[in-house]
């Protein structure tokens, strides 16, 4: 192990990094993994140390070797080109715990940087941000924007630090998009719930000759009595209006 790699292995800052990061030697053997990396891949340190990356994490055969091949191409650019390499959103599945054939679908944003010992590149610092939970639309946005920024960086000769900033900003942008999508879903659900409750109130008002407030109070009492959310009670009532069941629900 090189002196630089040895320092990283013993560096508390490396192990405390928020992003999942692993230290590979020039043969792609795992020499160190920080806590975030171990959490991300669901493995213990002694399971993967001194093991080739692709032996520790075999490629999903359903991907026809593309997962491994693209990583290898990236690592070659680091080792031979002596530069940091940023990949677009990359799918590389992981075997589920205790399984030999069943894989968990995972998407990553990998960034690999050379480790030097003097003038020689002796290893790779491999960072992989897990973006699996992002929606497909957010993943597509992330990939498209990363492609565009990579092309722009190639034309302008952006530095490694600039590329790091691009990678971080793209991840943040995709997660912001995900948060916005969740808010839209919540708003849509709220509007749908309101419409269903209003329909149910109308049914109760027609059945009992009461006003809107009293109708809603009846729905709330039904919700409390059945330990079911008001919106679910409302849905059941609206659904039941097609038959005599509506009368039974209202009279309860």
Work out the number of other CB atoms within 10 angstroms of the CB of residue 109.
Answer: 25
User: Considering the chain, what is the average pLDDT of its residues?
Assistant: 79
Say how far apart CA 82 and CA 95 lie, in whole Å.
Answer: 31
Burial (CB < 10 A; 0-12, 13-18, 19+), residue 86, is buried
Mean pLDDT of 42-50: 93
Task: For 185-251, give the CATH class.
Answer: mainly alpha
Tens-place pLDDT, residues 87-130: 877 889 999 877 778 999 998 889 899 998 888 899 999 999 88
Q: Name, of 17-26, 82-91, 167-176, 230-239, the range with top average pLDDT.
A: 17-26
pLDDT band at 5 (very low <50, low <70, confident <90, very high): low
CATH 3.30.450.20 domain range(s) in the chain: 3-132
94 within 8 A of 59, measured Cβ to Cβ: no
Mean pLDDT of 33-56: 94
The CATH number corresponding to 3-132 among 3.40.50.450, 3.30.450.20, 3.40.50.300, 3.20.20.80 equals 3.30.450.20
- CA angle at residue 76 from 74 to 82, to 5 degrees? 100
pLDDT band at 34 (very low <50, low <70, confident <90, very high): very high
* pLDDT in the model for residue 156: 47
CATH 1.10.10 domain range(s) in the chain: 185-251
pLDDT band at 203 (very low <50, low <70, confident <90, very high): confident
Judged by average pLDDT, the poorest of 28-37, 136-145, 152-161 is 152-161
**Would the pLDDT of 202 be above 70?**
yes
* pLDDT in the model for residue 29: 96
Between the two ends of the chain, the Cα-to-Cα distance in Å is: 76
**Would the pLDDT of 75 be above 60?**
yes
Say how far apart CA 103 and CA 63 lie, in whole Å.
Answer: 11
71 within 8 A of 90, measured Cβ to Cβ: yes
């Amino acid at each position: 192990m090189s002196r630089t790699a040895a320092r990283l292995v013993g560096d508390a800052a490396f192990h405390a990094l928020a992003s999942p990061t692993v230290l590979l030697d020039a043969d792609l053997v795992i020499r160190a993994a920080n806590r975030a990396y171990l959490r991300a891949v669901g493995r213990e340190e002694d399971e993967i140390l001194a093991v080739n990356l692709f032996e520790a994490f075999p490629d999903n055969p359903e991907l026809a070797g593309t997962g491994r091949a693209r990583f290898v191409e990236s690592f070659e650019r680091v080792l031979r080109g002596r530069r940091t390499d940023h990949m677009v959103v990359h799918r590389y599945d992981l075997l589920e715990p205790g399984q030999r054939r069943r894989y968990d679908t995972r998407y990553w944003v990998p960034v690999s940087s050379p480790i030097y010992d003097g003038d020689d590149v002796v290893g790779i610092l491999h960072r992989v941000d897990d973006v699996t939970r992002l929606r497909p639309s957010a993943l597509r946005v992330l990939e498209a924007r990363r492609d565009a920024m990579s092309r722009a960086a190639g034309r302008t000769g952006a530095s490694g630090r600039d590329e790091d900033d691009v990678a971080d900003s793209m991840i943040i942008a995709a997660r912001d998009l995900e948060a916005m999508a969740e808010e839209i879903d919540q708003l849509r659900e709220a509007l749908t719930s309101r419409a269903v409750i209003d329909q149910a109130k109308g049914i109760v008002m027609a059945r009992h000759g009461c006003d809107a407030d009293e109708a809603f109070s009846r729905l709330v009492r039904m919700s409390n009595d059945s330990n079911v959310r008001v919106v679910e009670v409302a849905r059941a009532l609206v659904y039941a209006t097609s038959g005599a069941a509506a009368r039974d629900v209202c009279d309860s």
